Structure 1
Amino acid sequence: MGEMNIRIEDELRTRIEDLARNNDRSMEEEIAYLLRQAVDGQPKRESFADIARKIAAMTPKGVEQTSSLEMLREDRDR
């Protein structure tokens, strides 16, 4: 298990100590709990490949797609 050393304001430390006491946890356990809640609550980012697959799935089958190279050349020539 890794270690972290951080500097926090005295007021924040006091609030975390109060939370830990109210939840019957040590300060270390309370901080780990709070960090876990914050990280687990974040939405997971989709990878570029997953997004590309979703877009490809929306493309109707049998429809010829315009080449991106062709579109770039056309745009450049404007």
Structure 2
Amino acid sequence: MKAIINFFKRLFKSAEYELTIHHLGEVKKYHVIKVYTLNMNTASFKTINKEKHLLKSSDKMSWELRKINSEVKS
């Protein structure tokens, strides 16, 4: 029974990501639950603490998005 409950918890759990942005020699990491836009000049996303971020730049920025393993522990 516990295995079935854990299966459904994993099935409906929202995905979490680690977003790393490289811009003008700085590296910033964010724990993200929703991504709205990611491109060379704009990044728009919502972090795990429900804060919305909008980053804009006239210079190019690079980014990496990595899915965080969201296993439910029994």
User: Higher Cα Rg: structure 1 or 2?
Assistant: 1
Greater relative CO (CA pairs within 8 A, separation 6+)? 2
| Structure 1 or 2: more helix by fraction | 1
> TM-score when scaled to structure 2?
0.29
| Structure 1 or 2: more strand by fraction | 2
